[in-house]
Chain A
Amino acid sequence: MAGDPVTARTAIAAGFAALAALVIAADLMARRGESRFRPLGATLAGALRTRSGRIAVFAAWLWLGWHFLAR
């Protein structure tokens, strides 16, 4: 049975969903005891140790708010 053809828009949305799934999978993997890398939250907290890291992370956060909610 043939379904509706996959549009470019659907394929692009699926790509974003795949990226989100990748982030979740990597974070879950990092939380396993034998993992060799840290979860996203711990890595972000590590980036906040320095002033330049804090500026970069907070600037990115403010840009996200402006871009999605205000622009």
Chain B
Amino acid sequence: MSATLAEIFSTARTQGRAALIGYLPAGFPTARGCVQLMAAMVAGGCDIIEVGLPYSDPLMDGAAIQQAVGQALEAGTTPDVVLDVVRELSELNVTSVVMSYWNPIERYGVQRFAERLRAAGGQGVITPDLTPEEAGDWMAATDVTGLSRIFLVAPSSSDLRLAKVSSVSGGWVYAASTMGVTGARTQLGDAAQVLVERTRAYTDLPIAVGVGVSTGDQAADIAKFADGVIVGSAFVKAVLDSPDIEAAVDAVKSLAAELADGVRR
């Protein structure tokens, strides 16, 4: 049985480190291949896998993830494929959450999606374009199923909004490191640290930082003040740059190892 989000963050804290969360879209590069890659990410040191639900209009995502979800959609990846990936991860005792834009969940049926994800062993959902104000049905469905609602906070969030967002979040609070879309940045400013510190005033939940993190050094910097480090585009890029699935497996595993070393420094 895979560990809960709370157990993972608690274990990491005991070990004096941040948790490492790695993202890949389901169905990228294929339905079977993505599970292989995700397993390799865990073998390399990821604590949690964030399974992306491919969507046609990912307006929070940069070029690498756009390309990857485009491939996944062309390969026919549906929400049911995403649920299958989560189920396979659970069978491997891997803890996972889903990252999804709102429309596919609404179209699937909010309650139905929550129930099926829970049954598949998913622990929570990150919703990048859903804020608490529009989340009435989602609150109800996640309350019933016990799924964690992982909302985002951003450097531009007012104190009022930090309080509001964290008060309804579960699992962890997702802090966007910079103002911008996903994708590797050579430099991350101090906005992430300021945001994490501001958010701590309103919640005891773990706070994980994502958007723009791609190297072990960056992971090490963030691990000094955050409870989790989230890496997406860098894994996607490692796959895009690999000539075949075997090379991709090696590439994501070694990137995960570098990041896992970073969060332990």
Q: Do A and B come from one complex?
A: no
User: A-contacting residues of B (Cβ < 8 Å)?
Assistant: none
